[in-house]
């Protein structure tokens, strides 16, 4: 046993960790969520079904290849996970769930051809206030499993936008237009062929489309895939209805 994992076990014994969803004491080997709560997160399994409702958000807007999310955003349990990641000073939840997502998608070939991972950047002021960028931790978890490198500083968020939560679909588009700038002297970014964009929650897709447009400004022929932790459950049948309905409008 490595010394670091022995130390973790001793610390765990002295200060038992609790599941962020049900509050039960975690056993050795469990991290952040107990086995039951992790298994019960309602999976989208979009990496097994293409085309899917998440990819559809990006059709005609960017050169999209694949899109998947770990779970549908529905109910108290998924809310607790997302809230914990963003507001409880607990970024390692993101790294852990990024690893879970990548492990579940790996054998489907989802990552085939992807050359780099770009997490949605936070504005520097917001990142200082929170202490971390939750999307960066998700990206690091995915990178740990896949070996694909993370480009954490290739794109900058120029504008500190207000939260999208209470905005309708049109207001969301308006809120994120031209808020990102890709570094034009980053030669890898301007020459690579396929990038994976990471967000914690994809709702209308507006933030990721704006991010993709900033990258297209330095690399017009680039292709994108998209991953997030959560996707709204109301959108799950969007393929059948043809047009996703915005839950916030």
- Residue 37 or residue 100: which is nearer to Zn ion going by CB? 37
> Residues interacting with Zn ion, by CB under 5 A?
19, 21-22, 34, 37
Strand pairing category for 223-232 and 149-150: unpaired
- To the nearest whole angstrom, how small is the minimum distance from the Cβ of residue 23 to Zn ion? 7
- Residue 21 or residue 154: which is nearer to Zn ion going by CB? 21
- Residue 20 or residue 212: which is nearer to Zn ion going by CB? 20
CB 32 within 8 A of CB 19: yes
- Dihedral sign of CA atoms 85, 228, 120, 166 in order: negative
Instruction: Return the DSSP state at 154.
Output: S
- To the nearest whole angstrom, how small is the minimum distance from the Cβ of residue 34 to Zn ion? 3
What CA–CA distance (Å, rounded) separates 52 from 195? Answer: 19
DSSP bridge pairs for 150: 117
- Residue 36 or residue 168: which is nearer to Zn ion going by CB? 36
What CA–CA distance (Å, rounded) separates 138 from 122? Answer: 13
Strand pairing category for 116-119 and 194-201: parallel
- To the nearest whole angstrom, how small is the minimum distance from the Cβ of residue 226 to Zn ion? 28
- Residue 34 or residue 139: which is nearer to Zn ion going by CB? 34
- Residue 37 or residue 182: which is nearer to Zn ion going by CB? 37
What CA–CA distance (Å, rounded) separates 25 from 10? Answer: 15
DSSP bridge pairs for 198: 119, 227
- To the nearest whole angstrom, how small is the minimum distance from the Cβ of residue 28 to Zn ion? 15
CB atoms within 10 A of CB 29: 8
Element (H, E) at 156: strand 155-157
- To the nearest whole angstrom, how small is the minimum distance from the Cβ of residue 217 to Zn ion? 44
- Residue 94 or residue 205: which is nearer to Zn ion going by CB? 94
- To the nearest whole angstrom, how small is the minimum distance from the Cβ of residue 248 to Zn ion? 29
- To the nearest whole angstrom, how small is the minimum distance from the Cβ of residue 24 to Zn ion? 5
Does residue 150 sit in helix, strand or coil?
strand
Q: What are phi and psi of 215, to 5 degrees?
A: -70, -40
Token duo for residue 221? 């022929």
């Amino acid at each position: 046993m490595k010394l670091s994992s022995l130390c973790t076990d001793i610390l765990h014994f002295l200060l038992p960790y609790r599941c962020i969803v049900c509050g039960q004491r975690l056993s050795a080997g469990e991290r952040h969520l107990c086995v039951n709560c992790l298994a019960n997160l309602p999976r989208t399994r979009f990496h097994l079904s293409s085309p899917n409702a998440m990819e559809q958000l990006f059709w005609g807007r960017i050169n999209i290849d694949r899109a998947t999310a770990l779970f549908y955003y529905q109910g108290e349990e998924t809310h607790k996970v997302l809230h914990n990641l963003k507001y409880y000073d607990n970024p390692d939840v993101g790294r852990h769930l990024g690893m879970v997502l990548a492990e579940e998608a790996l054998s489907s070939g989802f990552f085939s051809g992807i050359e780099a991972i770009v997490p949605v950047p936070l504005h520097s002021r917001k990142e200082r206030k929170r202490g971390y960028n939750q999307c960066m931790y998700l990206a690091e978890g995915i990178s740990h499993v896949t070996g694909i490198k993370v480009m954490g500083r290739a794109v900058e968020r120029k504008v500190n936008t207000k939260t999208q939560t209470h905005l309708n679909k049109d207001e969301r588009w308006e809120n994120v237009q031209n808020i990102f700038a890709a570094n034009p002297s980053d030669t890898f970014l301007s020459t690579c062929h396929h990038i994976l964009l990471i967000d914690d929650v994809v709702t209308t897709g507006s933030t990721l489309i704006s991010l993709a447009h900033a990258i297209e400004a330095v690399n017009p022929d680039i292709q994108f895939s998209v991953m997030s932790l959560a996707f709204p459950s109301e959108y799950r049948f969007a393929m059948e209805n043809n047009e996703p309905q915005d839950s916030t409008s």
